[in-house]
Copies of this chain bind each other. A is one copy, B any other.
Amino acid sequence: MSTNKPIRRVAIIGTGVIGASWTALFLAKGLDVVATDVAPDAETSLRNFVKAAWPALERLGLAPGASQSRVTFTADMPTAVRGADLVQENGPERIDFKKKLYRQLDELLPPDVIIASSSSGLTMSEIQSDCPSHPERCVIGHPFNPPHLVPLVEIVGGAKTSEATIQRAIEFYEGLGKQAVRLRKEVPGHVANRLQAALAREVYYLVAEDVVSVADVDKALSWGPGLRWGIMGQVLLNHLGGGQGGIEHFFAQFTKPMTAWWKTLGSPELTPEVQRKLIDGLHAEVGSRSISELEAERDDILMGLLELRSQYEKPTAISLRTARAGSPR
């Protein structure tokens, strides 16, 4: 397998929210996209999504030649993937469906075409298990929604995925300006959804126990620790939290209280009553603001934050090449 074949044409399987957002990103980065979906109104929805996303993508910077017109749509999957250099698959999260789809893709596609799955809930080891020919080119490339705005993409292979595939996937996503994170083990929820689940659990618990209202727990997060988590990661912040003594001083000082707090963190059950409390509290927080209005606010601030961070970013380094690159395992 060549690690150098340029990826110019991407097939998108499944054009729901994630697939449509990937489409918008790939187009903005100057790629050709062929999209496929079985839903009757899929093409219209896709084109509307791309059109709506375009001003944001213009603000973040289009690649030369990028155009909304460079997407074609076909309801026929085999037609869609023909000639693609990479497939980004966003099908339903049902293992039987995915295994069958990957078996079919494996038969249709030459071995140097990467098949990347946006799956958040299944592992590649399962998904690729029925591929008869080249399971080594299958990999998870899991975005954080929406992929056209949030830079993170999580890369993790299954038992049969080659190191070369992982490296090519990382290079591809980083080449588009994504922030690629590599998992060395398959774990449920990958990394980002686990972090989100860990935080949400305590948020829900504090509301369920009447410690704080929904509006106030949201306020505490977004005007407190949340402000920093969009700037630097937790361990780097710990390093700064240790003052001039850095992370060593941080652990010396905070291991004891943090460990004590861990023992008191909650494990709520999302009973109908707890959900009701969260839902009612949310509506009290939101008031008359519409979902569209809130989305626009979220995305406007998000883009501003990305612009602020870009001033401190070095050009993406292809830092994860290793001596093993190119050697299938």
B235 close to A281 (CB less than 8 A):
yes
Would A198 and B198 count as touching, CB distance under 8 A? yes
Stretch at the interface among A23-31, A38-46, A70-78, A297-305: A297-305
Residue numbers in B under 8 Å from A121 (CB-CB): 257
Shortest Cβ distance from A267 into B: residue: B262
Name the residue in A154, A222, A270, A306 with the highest tally of chain B Cβ atoms < 10 Å from its Cβ.
Answer: A222
CA distance A304 to B144 in the complex (A): 23
Question: Among B150, B201, B217, B232, which residue has its beta carbon within 8 angstroms of that of A298?
Answer: B232
* Stretch with Cβ within 8 A of B (4 or more), from A2-10, A96-104, A125-133, A242-250: A242-250
Take A209-B185, A211-B183, A240-B298 as given contacts and tell me if A218 and B194 are in contact as well, using a CB distance cutoff of 8 Å: no
Q: Once bound together, how far apart are the Cα atoms of A152 and B217, in whole Å?
A: 11
Residues of chain A from 130 to 152 with CB closer than 8 A to chain B in the complex:
144-145, 150-152
Would B232 and A229 count as touching, CB distance under 8 A?
no
Q: This chain: how many copies in the complex? A: 2
Chain B hits for A211, CB < 8 A: 183-185, 187, 191
Q: Are B189's CB and A261's CB within 8 A?
A: yes
A120 → chain B closest CB, angstroms: 8
Residue-by-residue, is A48-67 near B (CB-CB < 8 Å gives 1, otherwise 0)?
00000000000000000000
- What is the distance, in angstroms, from A179's C-beta to the closest C-beta of chain B? 4
Tell me whether A240 and B301 are in contact in the complex, defined as CB-CB below 8 angstroms, given that A230-B222, A262-B267, A275-B255 are known contacts.
no
Can you give 13 contacting A-B residue pairs, CB < 8 Å?
Answer: A144-B225, A181-B217, A189-B261, A191-B206, A195-B202, A199-B229, A200-B258, A217-B233, A226-B229, A230-B230, A231-B305, A239-B282, A251-B279
Binding site for B on A (CB under 8 A): 17, 120-121, 144-145, 150-152, 154, 179, 181-185, 187-189, 191-203, 206-207, 209-212, 214, 216-241, 243-244, 246-248, 251, 255, 257-262, 264-265, 267, 270, 275, 278-279, 281-283, 285-286, 291, 294-295, 297-298, 300-302, 304-306, 308-309, 312
